[in-house]
Structure 1
Amino acid sequence: MADSDEEYIGDVTEDEDLQGSQSAAASRAKRRRKQRGQAEWEVSRTWETLVEGADGTISSTVEGLLEAGKRKRLLRDTTPLQRGIIRHLILVLDLSQSMAEKDLRPTRYLLTIRYAQEFVREFFEQNPISQLGLLGLRDGLAVRISDMSGNPTEHINAIQALRTQDPKGLPSLQNGLEMARGSLL
């Protein structure tokens, strides 16, 4: 039986180890693999370690091995790691002339504004101590809608102020990405 990298090497007994350098090399390879650490499913078991139950099956031994694995997992240190929970996000909105199309009701522009407001509310509900900034793309430029802050009402008011403006020009994604990068530094 071969795995993806090399031939499978089972447990080597002392008698087999004495048979020659090839067996000694196999033993060294096994020890190296063990030192590197392997996944649980890569642990090799031999038939000698299995014991038949009173009914002549090995199911009780297999169940015992599964229970031992469960106990080992339960005893493992499970203190949660604290990951970076403060997020910094720049939301870039398209404010170009193409957003005036009416394929979405009432227009793409007004629908985007409504969804952006909902996004800001949900973002701060899920990430209360995070920071958000808003940029818009219009006339080939990136315009700052609101600065990076943790105040959702400030962002929502800035988005609502966009309703009075009409979309115009072409968007420049490059300018938007450069301004967002500058805001995050």
Structure 2
Amino acid sequence: MPASGDEFIVDDDDDLPRAPGRSEARRATDRDSGQNFEVTRTWDLLTEGADGTITGAVEGLLEAGKRKRLLKDTTPLQRGIIRHVILILDMSLSMNEKDLRPTRFMLTLLYTETFIREFFEQNPISQLGIVGTRDGVAIRISDMSGNPNAHLAAIQKIRKEEPKGNPSLENALEMARAALFHAPSHVLWQTRSERQ
């Protein structure tokens, strides 16, 4: 039951009536049309059923919400099967911290190896490249390749290196952008707004 006793609000996300919180109306943005709308229901608009409850009215609102969702645009997003991914690793002095055992750096490399294996299991025809950042510069750990063994060998190679200096995310992102510059357009993800 609402705290104020004079109105309730239907939340479109879970289709359950809820009491108004800080505001008296739920405001949301319609993602498809970009228009603002307000959903407000008052107790005056509800009619009691033969049994003296408002269950029928609430069920009607729930059904209306379900119908509305079914009528929404359900065009699936087009995603490329072939993905080009650049993984950026922090190799700065802060990765020597031992708050994660044995060190942040070694644990990161362990998870990177796991990521590489899983990435190529799920995306066998995709490309991956690895960039590291330390001493204020970006270094190329492995070139863009579809061979997981080449990436795993590169990760094994940098295990021997000590993290040092400060990271430079800007330089790492610039190197990643340069590596992806020649990626064909069919591998780029396309959102609904870009298609329209």
User: Could you say which TM-score interval applies, normalised by the shorter chain?
Assistant: 0.5 to 0.7
Residue of structure 2 equivalent to 1:123: 119
Structure-2 separation of matches of 1:127 and 1:82? 18
Higher relative helix content:
1
State the structure with more CA Rg: 1
The answer to whether the aligner puts 1:132 opposite 2:119 as a matched pair is no
The answer to whether the aligner puts 1:184 opposite 2:180 as a matched pair is yes
Structure-1 separation of matches of 2:163 and 2:148? 26
Structure-2 separation of matches of 1:114 and 1:101? 16
Structure-1 separation of matches of 2:151 and 2:86? 11
Identity among equivalent pairs (%): 58
Instruction: Specify the code of the residue in structure 2 equivalent to 1:114.
Output: L
Map residues 1-185 of structure 1 onto 2, 5 A cutoff: 83-85=78-80, 86-163=82-159, 165-173=160-168, 174-185=170-181
User: Is residue 99–residue 108 contact of structure 1 (8 Å, CA) maintained in 2?
Assistant: yes
Structure-2 separation of matches of 1:81 and 1:130? 21
Please report how far the alpha carbon of residue 82 of structure 1 lies from its aligned counterpart in structure 2 after TM superposition. Answer: 8.4
- Give me the CA root mean square deviation: 3.8
Structure-2 separation of matches of 1:177 and 1:171? 15
TM-score by length of 1: 0.55
User: Is residue 140–residue 169 contact of structure 1 (8 Å, CA) maintained in 2?
Assistant: no
Q: Which runs of 4+ in 1 moved over 2 A?
A: 80-85, 165-173
The 1:154/1:135 distance shift into structure 2, 3 A limit, reads same
Name structure 1 gaps, 5 residues minimum. Answer: 1-79
Structure-1 separation of matches of 2:152 and 2:174? 23
Structure-2 separation of matches of 1:150 and 1:83? 22
The 1:130/1:82 distance shift into structure 2, 3 A limit, reads farther
Structure-2 separation of matches of 1:167 and 1:96? 9
User: Is residue 100–residue 107 contact of structure 1 (8 Å, CA) maintained in 2?
Assistant: yes
Please report how far the alpha carbon of residue 168 of structure 1 lies from its aligned counterpart in structure 2 after TM superposition. Answer: 3.4
Higher relative strand content:
2
TM-score by length of 2: 0.53
User: Is residue 138–residue 167 contact of structure 1 (8 Å, CA) maintained in 2?
Assistant: no
Structure-2 separation of matches of 1:99 and 1:82? 38
Note the alpha carbon deviations across 1:44-77, whole angstroms, 9 max, x for none.
Answer: xxxxxxxxxxxxxxxxxxxxxxxxxxxxxxxxxx
